[in-house]
Amino acid sequence: MIPIKTPHEIEAIREACRIVVGAFRAIEALMVPGTPTIKIDETVEKYIRSQAGKPAFKGYPNQDGKPFPASACISVEEEVVHGIPNGRPLLSGQIVGVDIGVEKDGFFGDSATTFAIGRVDELRQRLLQTTREALARGIDKAQAGNRLSDISYAIESYVLSHKFSVVRELVGHGVGRQLHEEPQIPNYGTQGRGPILREYMVLAIEPMVNAGTGDVETIGDWCVVSRDRQPSAHFEHTIIVRDGEAEILTVR
């Protein structure tokens, strides 16, 4: 069952999302050539804790029970999601996805953005623009009375029209008292299927789009990469379903 949030829950989720937004603002100046990804992660954690929040990803277990070791997922180039920060510096021409989750007083917020580092080529520019717009089109369908798959179809159809590929193995999700709640939200599908969306559902919609094939594989315990090693982009917002236009809680 997909939870319908109470006004109290909505406000608590809104506060967690406020901290997510602040964490992104805290790292914007660091998204330049030469910054080690570990410094970005340290800045994210410091900001979250300064707001009496907790990094939602740090210690989060994978399917084998292995805890994620960082506060932010920082995924470079062909890394689709769950990239682990380390000492490597960002390089001009790369695209870098940053995914941040926050827990505050038992409620969660979640968002992701892919940054262009320095000047990127035309392929990466198009990939970023397409993924960002695919998210916007998915959010446009997150209205009370629509079906869940209307979101999925809007994302996939836009991505395919621009000759890119959605990653099918990874999905969006509900969010609230848990980081990952029902429903799962695929980035592909036929419109008019699945549960009817109701006002005050809270969803994290997150297209992950590859420049080449949509196939992926996992390296080590966490990092998901494109199988053909082509670049990947990831954008995500936490939103509230409304009777009309959805409310985006993680706008910067």
Count of CB atoms within 10 A of residue 42's CB? Answer: 17
Q: Where are the alpha helices (DSSP H) in 162-228?
A: none
Distance from C-alpha of 186 to C-alpha of 116, rounded to nearest angstrom: 25
pLDDT (tens digit, 9 = 90+) per residue, 144-202? 999 999 999 999 999 999 999 999 999 999 999 999 999 999 999 999 999 999 999 99
Cβ(117)–Cβ(94) below 8 Å: yes
Burial of 63 (0-12, 13-18, 19+ CB in 10 A): exposed
Count of CB atoms within 10 A of residue 190's CB? Answer: 12
Residue ranges of the domains in the chain?
A: 7-248
Residues in the chain: 252
* Helices and strands, number each (H, E), in the chain: 4, 15
- Domain 7-248, CATH number (from 3.40.50.2000, 3.90.230.10, 3.40.50.170, 3.40.50.300): 3.90.230.10
pLDDT (tens digit, 9 = 90+) per residue, 81-135? 999 999 999 999 999 999 999 999 999 999 999 999 999 999 999 999 999 999 9
Read off the tokens for 145.
């009375």
pTM, two decimals, is: 0.95
